[in-house]
Amino acid sequence: ETGVTQSPTHLIKTRGQQVTLRCSSQSGHNTVSWYQQALGQGPQFIFQYYREEENGRGNFPPRFSGLQFPNYSSELNVNALELDDSALYLCASSLQYNEQFFGPGTRLTVL
Amino acid sequence: AQSVTQLDSQVPVFEEAPVELRCNYSSSVSVYLFWYVQYPNQGLQLLLKYLSGSTLVESINGFEAEFNKSQTSFHLRKPSVHISDTAEYFCAVSDMRFGNEKLTFGTGTRLTIIP
């Protein structure tokens, strides 16, 4: 059984650019959640996708958007990058309402 | 809305000594409670959780946490720590309506084990 994987591992972008992060969910899971973990902070919930539909959103602006595909993998897109977007982005998959399994994260640096 | 407070950002402990990592939460709804561990350059791993039943929950590697509703706390304890316990520990809560998902995390406690 393959766990949650994320790509890329690291990414460097400049202010104003756009970025796409990818997540492959664990086999059998239908829900993907994204979290942002700034340096020295706990993860913050960005949004969740359940069966390809957004199913809840945290306190993040609309320039943070996402997709979930029929195979339940997911993308996180961030437009108009700002310096404060520099963080570790964590993806977690689950079978709805059940335990979340986290991926290793993508480290995004915005210069 | 919920919030989680972990008052200790860093806790140094000698090997084989006991440790307690504190967690307090605030919520207007019923919640589930979790402790996650994050090893360097890795994602989060679930350590233990309280959903219902006995207020004392245990993990397979010797940690335990007790849910105290009156004090809105869920402190994590281990009677004897090992070098391998060095990691960042996060307390989290979820609105019961969302099960184990849409977690609200604390800011974390870095546990450092001194040989």
Average confidence score pLDDT of chain B: 94
On whether any CB of chain B is under 8 Å from the CB of A94, the answer is: yes
The answer to whether A109 and A86 have CB atoms below 8 angstroms apart is yes
Q: With an 8 Å Cβ cutoff, are B101 and A33 in contact?
A: yes
Say yes or no for a CB contact (<8 Å) between A48 and B101: yes
Phi first, then psi, for residue A31 (nearest 5°) are -130, 135
Residue type for B4, please? V
Chain B residue numbers with beta carbons less than 8 Å from the beta carbon of A92 are 44
Instruction: Say if the Cβ atoms of A43 and B101 lie within 8 Å.
Output: no
Q: Does B93 score more than 90 pLDDT? A: yes
Q: Hey, what amino acid is at B89? A: Y
The pairing of strands B44-50 and B31-38 is antiparallel
Q: Which of B43, B102, B106 sits opposite A102 (nearest CB)?
A: B43
Chain B residue closest in CA terms to A107 = B41
Q: Who among B41, B90, B99 is closest to A42 (CB)?
A: B90
Q: What is the mean pLDDT of residues B51-65?
A: 92
Give the residue from chain A lying closest to B102, CA to CA: A45
User: Is omega for the bond preceding B12 within 30 degrees of 0, making it cis?
Assistant: no
Could you read off the pLDDT tens digit of each residue along chain A, which spans 111 residues?
A: 578 999 999 999 999 999 999 999 998 899 999 999 999 899 999 999 999 999 999 999 999 999 999 999 999 999 999 999 999 999 999 988 888 999 999 999 999
Please give the share of chain B, as a percent, with pLDDT higher than 90. Answer: 80
B81 pLDDT more than 60: yes
* Mean pLDDT across B95-111: 91
- What mean pLDDT is predicted for residues B12-40? 95
pLDDT at site B41: 79
Asked if pLDDT for residue B102 goes beyond 70, the answer is yes
Chain A residues touching B100 at Cβ < 8 A: 94, 97-100
pLDDT band at B71 (very low <50, low <70, confident <90, very high): very high
Two tokens at B101? 């998902």
Interface membership of A33 toward B (CB under 8 Å): yes
pLDDT for res A1 = 57
Check residue B22 and give left, alpha or beta (phi > 0: left; psi -120 to 50: alpha): beta
